[in-house]
Amino acid sequence: MTATDPALTALAQGWCALSLLHGRIEAHIERALQAGHELSVREYSLLDVLSRQHDGEGGHLQMKQVADAVVLSQSATTRLVTRLEDRGLLTRYLCPTDRRGIYTDVTDAGRTLLEAARPTNEAALREALDDAARNPELAPLVKAVETLGVPA
């Protein structure tokens, strides 16, 4: 394969389109969440992931699992958790069965903020996808995103 190989060029163009779609969506949601709730996309994502924890087997996530879920490094996730903890939106505690493990839970204030922000996030996502669907280069990707997770 050479640098001018059509398959490589198409692959690169597809990756650029996907990156463009992601950037547009994230920027649109970021503006909406910041304006309405003083939350970043990453903060919202972290609250959302942590709010889905439960007390059953495997219900609490370790920091590495949280980092993977919000697509950040462990150190960036730890800093983000610290910021939200300082705002009273999260709390950390030692794992009762493994004293080396630290779990993070959403506080009542965090749950209240998340529930208020959820409609904003969903509306901004819908707006960003609708806008991107008008771009012929991005429309197929929008269609793919819209069909992900939809039962066949």
Residue 110 is part of a domain; what is its CATH number?
1.10.10.10
- In 3D, which of 42, 63, 23 has the Cα closest to residue 117? 42
Q: Coil, strand, or helix at residue 103?
A: strand
Supply 91's token pair.
């709390």
Q: How many domains does the chain have?
A: 1
pLDDT of residue 3: 59
pTM score of the predicted model: 0.87
148 found inside a domain? no
123 found inside a domain? yes
pLDDT of residue 146: 93
Q: Mean pLDDT, 10 residues at a time, over the chain (152 residues)?
A: 68 92 97 98 97 80 90 94 97 80 92 98 97 96 90 69
Contact 139, 132 (CB under 8 A): yes
